[in-house]
Every structure is written in structure tokens, then in C-alpha cells.
Chains A and B, each alone.
Chain A
């Protein structure tokens, strides 16, 4: 794989040339700080991928994508700690498999056509398309309440102290949605182009000089890079662990525990804690949590821990029978204790390393996985996969125990279901 960077005043293009795939992948990322109006950007990105001045409806966009050999184009908004990343993503067939000589220029041109020429008239986005997206987001917001995992995670995060970005919802609430109008979206669009940091990532078996030229020709972004990304959120520790129990209409009971991780070094953040989490509950079926709760005690179908690196948080989530909550919590505590005491065998450590390396390698087998790693390499200096693999191999038991001691409980949230003891 050949990595290359093309620097332009207002954006950089990062390319990965490889002959491993039949498809290519392009991502245009815009970045700003998370704030209380982040949901507007989510709406904007959704709307901008649905229509433009040239392609006035989603139907026309999809027809065009089908003509472009079933290219795929969508928008996605992600929260990375303090940063809101709004991305426009295009995947397309390698031009070698098409008969159209202008294919590359045409397919790469599409996202920039959509970004540079949105369907705006008199400083307002088109109302028909606006309403379609509004209805869709409206139902998406409502649908959160139909999913036990999403409800319980949202509720647990809402109990974090203060006005932290970690609890900001990028989709917003129904009340937030009512504040969005075709006019406010036009303002958000201007903000996206004028104030957001922008970078472009491309992977495929392509002539990257040619790709960079096409992009430079099609993309007249005015922002000159002067700002830097801010990523990490420092969450405030509560005076004592918050214990919350709420009732729900679901059958199962969901348990979400949130832990603060303080004082990690750069290497610990990048490698050691990822690995700790893998061993603890984030990895496969041999994690501490899985073994203790499912295999040894049959309490749940699954249990996982999630390292929210940019929020400096660790989250443990599982679904159990109501009567088993106490026992589940006690076993989770035991799992933490065993990690702090380094109670895992050399075999477990080596197996987890091999598994972790496997998961890193697996990401190298699809274009989106490679791009995702590259994005974080650029934004946060995350070592490239090849280097991370070397670093994982060197992790010691002592290093894991050290990070284990930096995990502090903050919130224990239970969303209690109706089922009890019928298993």
C-alpha cells in the first residue's frame, strides 16, 4: 500500500494506492466542535446527500448512482470526543471494470457536485426535501425508544456530570428538530464550508495524481487551515458513584455501567487501554466479562465493554433478567478486580494479543477499514496498523495492571424490564 499526501491551502488529500480491491472509497470529512446545535449538522448532511441543484430528489441521485455502476453515496455524522465529524462517503467500482472513459471524473465529481451546489433557493434549502428528511429524523428519534440498548445507553450517559460533549446527542430531540428550518440549514451549510476543517481520503487502485487533480478542479473550498482539531473530553467525576434504576416496557433488563479513565499516557490511550478493554470485555468470547457472566453463570446472552477513547470513558453493557442485576453487578466488579490484580494467565494474554492483532488485520481487508485507520492517523496521530501490531506484541502484564488501576466507576444504570424469573 502506498500512502501519499496532497496539500492544498484549504484541505489535504490523503491517498492509499492498493490493487487489493475492486472498489474504491472516497471520504470528504468536515470537522467542527460539538455543541448544543450539533444535531443541525446531522440534518444538513442527510439533506445534502438527498438532493442538489442538479439532482433534485433522492430518486434522481440514486438513478445517477446506478448509472455510475452502482456507486454508493451517503452522509454520516460522528462524534469523536469534542469533535463533530460530518462525512460524505462515496464508494465506487474501479474504472478498470467499466467501459466508460470519463467514469473516474464523473464519479468523483458527484459528491463535490452535491456539496458545492446544494438545492438552495433564496438562502433556503428546498422545502420538499427538507420535509422528507425532517420526517425521517423525527422517526429515527422516536425509534431510539424502541431499542433497549440505545435507550439505556442514552439514559446512562445523560447522568454524566455537567454539560459534557459526551452526552450530546448528534441526532437531537423532537424539540431540537422543531428548531431546524430551511433557513437555519442554509446558515449551517455556510458554516460547514467556511469554518469547518476539511480533509479528503481516497483508497483504490487509481492514479492518485489524477484523482487529486480532479478533486482540486471540482472542490473550491474556501477555508484555509489555521485551526487544530480538539478531540479529548475530560469528564468530571461525581462525588460518589451514581446508582440509577428506571422502569421500562421491555422484557429484558439492561445494565449500563460507566467508568472514567483518568491519567492515561498517549501510548496507554492508543494501545494499552484498547488492549486492556479487549481482554476485559471488548474482544471475542473469551473476555473476562463474557466468561464470568455468560459462561460460568449463564446470566446473559452477551456482555461487552466499550472503550470510548475520546471521552475517556469505559462502558459496560449487558442484558439480564431483572432478578439477576445484583449478581451481574457483583461479577462485573469481580472482573475489574481480577484485571487490577493481573489475574489472567500468560496463555490468555497471548491469545488476546493474537486476537487483537487479528482484528487489526481484518480491518485491512476492506477499503473502509483502511480509510478509517488513516483518518485517525491523521487526526490523532494514531499509529498505522502495521505499527500498532508491533506495539501490541510488546504489551506487558504490568502495563495492563497499570491502566486497570486508572478505571474509576461513575454511573451504574439499570433499565428494568418486565420479565422476571421466567427463564
Chain B
């Protein structure tokens, strides 16, 4: 078992790969009453085209999420709930663009919980009836999402941003997509991706790491785990430009909303490592659009916006920056945001404060089993592994680093998506 020391945080992550190839990450917190297990599949909504042994496959959009739903069925009369309810544990699952996660929260009987989790996720019980039944439920979920204006804004933003990339589709798929999902598709996805070598387990809480390793090995040894098919996701070459620079959505919203985004090629930022780039971009956005920014203060004082939030996403080939607003004066608000994106600024004092406060937040994060589990999941998905030196990365950031990144942010490929009644 490898012990990854998180430098400066006085925390350790235990890491081992099980005999059957499942990577296991464990954070031990002896004060916690609960534990949190997540069994994660590196298969999300964007992975709909792939190759296995030189053969190309294409499955319907929304299939990763659909799989997450029907995976809860253990056999004709049993669902995953039936396994966990007697243990007094709670279960859940979610699907993102990049991965699917099966979760268990419990306060006791960690062995039984972990065994159940492995048993039901590695149990390929799929039938036509189950697939049929789930379609109605998912259709309802899709409609519920469409009833939420911010969801629609986000979806339309992605459609305007990406020409070919699968990020332009809903994670759930559209109702038409899920109508096309059949038993064969589900079995194919399960066989290709639900393999220990394409998954990882994160355990956080008051657990013994060595016991966890033993439970996993014993459990997986008893299963007939087939050879890993090693599917290769077909990489889509996303063109440089956006699809549409301006999108107007006519929707019966009470307060107009907009998303202003930039699509910047990743290579523009050259050799800056991903985690450092992500942190620097986060600081730049917080300083220019967050609570301590002059812009937010001005826009609030002038009554131009009532809500503003900025975020960044680093994809393989692109960096996406987006600012979301709500405003009664949406055109003026958009203009001001665009101006600000063209004139980003930061000073030494602001940078130091942001770095110090971020480090404090990082320290405080390591008290909750849930937040540490989430954090480890995102590190593994976004950066491929646990980052042991995040604190050092923060501490090493200089004003020159930030100014350099800021100088590389360009607004050539900008998208403005506006949603209001009169659009």
C-alpha cells in the first residue's frame, strides 16, 4: 500500500491497485462517524463513440446516465436499495460528462456495504423490461431539467460553443435519444467500460485501509471478471471556432439571464501544468467577477445585475471560461462583462489574499468524508491522480505567473447566450 502524503495539509491518502486492477484511494478520518464509498466508472455522457479491437462503435446519447439508472436492478425482484436498506445505509449515483459514480454513505458495517456496492455494480443484470420501464422515469427527469432556466441556459451555451464535441449534448440525452437505447447498447457499454481497470474506488471515513484492500480483493476474486477490452474513445477534433457567437433564447423567465463564454485553445497556455492553470484561472475570475471585485460592486450598486458567477473548465484541447449573470438590463450587463473580459486585472495584494484564503479552505476541506471523497474523484478525473502538492502549487504562484496567464486569455472566440421573454 502506498501512502501519498498531502504536503502541508497533514493528511495522507492510502493508495493501492487491487489484484483485479481496481485502483483504490482511501482517506482515513478516525473522528468520523460515517463513511463514504464511491465506485467510479471512467465512462460519462461524452463517451458515445469508441473502438474495441479496431471495430468502431456508436451508442445513443444519454446511455451513460441510462446505465446509471438501470444498474440499480440486481435481479427481477431486487434493487440495490434492498441490499443497503437493511444495513441502514444510503445510496445514490450520478453521471457527468466524464464519469459515472455509484455512492454509498453509511455509519456501520463497512465490509457488508462495500461488498454490496461491488456486487451490484459488477452485476450485469439487464432486461428489455427494465429498459422499457426506465424510459418513462428518465423522460420525466429530462423534462424536469428543461423546466429549470439555468439548465436550459447551460445547454444552449454548450451547443453554441462546441461544433462537434460531445459536450454539446445533454448528459441525460434527449427523450428521442433514450427511445433508441436498447439491450444490446447497454450490454456493450457494460462489457467495455465497467471493468475494474476502467474504474476507481474512493473510500473516506473511519476505516482501516488494509481491511478495505482485503475486502476488495476477496470480493473481486470471487467474480468472473473478464479480460479488459481496453476500449479507446474516439477523439473528436473540435474546431477552433464557436458555433454561434450570439444566441437568443425566448423563454418565460422572470429575470433575464445570460452566459458569456470564451473558448480558448489549451495550447495557448503552453506548458503550464493543468492544476496550476486551473488555480490561476480561478483566482483571476474570482478577482474580476467575484465578491471582492470592483466590477461586481459597481454592477450591484448601479442595479445592473443581481447575480454574477464565473467559472472555468479545462478540457483536453480547450479552456472554457464563462460568466453567468441575471439582470434587468441584460444588454448593458453583457456589455460590461465583455469589457471586463477584455480588461482583466489583478494586483499583488489581491493575489496574496486569494492564495492564503484558498489554502485555508483547502485545510478546512479535510474534515468531511463527503467533500474529501468528491475532491479525490475530481482530482482523479481531471488530473489522472491525487495531487499531493496542491498547497505548494498555491504557494508557488507569483504575480508574474498570473499576469502571464491573464495576457494569454483572448476573447476571439466568444459566445453570448441570452435568455429572456423578448429575445
Contacts and interface: CB of A to CB of B under 8 A. Distances in A.
A251 B33 CA distance: 42
21 contacts: A58-B297, A59-B292, A66-B356, A93-B360, A131-B303, A135-B300, A135-B306, A142-B255, A143-B254, A250-B147, A251-B143, A252-B147, A301-B137, A354-B88, A358-B90, A358-B105, A358-B106, A359-B90, A361-B33, A417-B147, A423-B175
Interface residues on A, range: 35 or more
Interface in B275-314: 290-294, 296-297, 300-301, 303, 306-307
Contacts of B107: 357-358, 361-362
B182 to A, nearest CB: 17
Given A67-B353, A93-B363, A285-B81, A139 B326 contact: yes
Interface stretch (A14-22, A181-189, A334-342): A14-22
Nearest to A67: B353
Contacts of B33: 361-362, 364-365
Given A23-B367, A139-B326, A355-B90, A423 B297 contact: no
A357 B108 CA distance: 11
Given A358-B88, A362-B107, A146 B253 contact: yes
Interface string B308-347: 0000000000000000001010000000000000000000
Given A93-B364, A422-B175, A146 B149 contact: yes
A249 interface: yes
Interface string B138-154: 11110110111100000
Nearest to B350: A63
A394 to B, nearest CB: 16
A319 B326 CA distance: 27
Interface in A19-38: 19-23
A278 to B, nearest CB: 12
Interface of A: 19-23, 57-59, 62-63, 65-67, 69-70, 93, 97-98, 128, 131-132, 135-136, 138-139, 142-143, 145-148, 249-252, 284-286, 294-295, 298-301, 319-321, 347-348, 350-355, 357-359, 361-362, 364-366, 417, 419, 422-423
Contact of A284 (B85, B291, B307, B357): B85
A70 B357 contact: yes
B420 to A, nearest CB: 12
Contacts of B274: none
B140 A321 contact: yes
A19 B91 CA distance: 28
B34 interface: yes
B140 to A, nearest CB: 4
- Closest A-B pairs by Cβ, 10 of them: A354-B88, A142-B254, A69-B360, A423-B139, A351-B85, A66-B357, A20-B31, A62-B291, A70-B357, A139-B306
A97 B254 contact: no
Given A136-B306, A354-B86, A70 B34 contact: no
Interface in B11-33: 31-33
A300 B139 CA distance: 9
Interface centre among A93, A128, A143, A301 (most CB of B within 10 A): A301
Contacts of A250: 147
A183 B7 CA distance: 53
Interface centre among A21, A355, A423 (most CB of B within 10 A): A423
A23 B106 CA distance: 23
Contact of A22 (B81, B147, B357, B366): B366
Contacts of A135: 300, 303, 306
B363 to A, nearest CB: 5
A67 B86 CA distance: 47
Given A252-B143, A298-B137, A365 B368 contact: yes
Interface of B: 31-34, 79, 81-82, 85-91, 105-107, 133-141, 143-144, 146-149, 175, 252-255, 290-294, 296-297, 300-301, 303, 306-307, 326, 328, 353-354, 356-358, 360-361, 363-364, 366-369
Nearest to A362: B34
Contacts of B366: 22
Contacts of B79: 285, 295
Nearest to B365: A22
Nearest to B363: A97
A66 B90 CA distance: 35
Nearest to B107: A361
A359 B141 CA distance: 25
Nearest to A145: B254
Contacts of B253: 146
B91 A365 contact: no
A148 B136 contact: no
Contacts of A249: 252
A69 B301 contact: no
A49 to B, nearest CB: 12
Given A252-B147, A298-B136, A22 B367 contact: yes
B254 A301 contact: no
A67 B147 CA distance: 40
A422 B356 CA distance: 53
A97 to B, nearest CB: 5
Nearest to B291: A62
B99 to A, nearest CB: 21
A365 B20 CA distance: 33
A174 to B, nearest CB: 10
A269 B101 CA distance: 37
Nearest to B32: A365
Contacts of A143: 254-255
A203 to B, nearest CB: 12
A300 B81 contact: no
B230 to A, nearest CB: 34
A58 B144 contact: no
Given A284-B90, A355-B85, A423-B136, A63 B303 contact: no
Contacts of B139: 422-423
B18 to A, nearest CB: 27
Nearest to A141: B254
A28 to B, nearest CB: 21
A19 to B, nearest CB: 7
A40 to B, nearest CB: 19
Contact of A423 (B135, B301, B303, B357): B135
A136 B300 CA distance: 9
Interface centre among A145, A251, A294, A320 (most CB of B within 10 A): A251
A62 B300 CA distance: 15
A106 to B, nearest CB: 14
A59 B306 contact: no
Contacts of B31: 19-21
Interface centre among B300, B366, B367 (most CB of A within 10 A): B300
Contacts of B144: 148, 252, 301, 319
B86 to A, nearest CB: 5
Contact of A146 (B105, B175, B254): B254
B178 to A, nearest CB: 10
A352 to B, nearest CB: 8
Contacts of B292: 59, 62-63, 66
Nearest to A423: B139
Given A284-B81, A365-B369, 20 more contacts: A20-B31, A21-B31, A23-B364, A58-B297, A69-B357, A97-B363, A142-B254, A146-B148, A146-B149, A146-B253, A146-B254, A298-B134, A351-B85, A354-B85, A355-B85, A355-B88, A358-B88, A358-B90, A361-B33, A362-B34
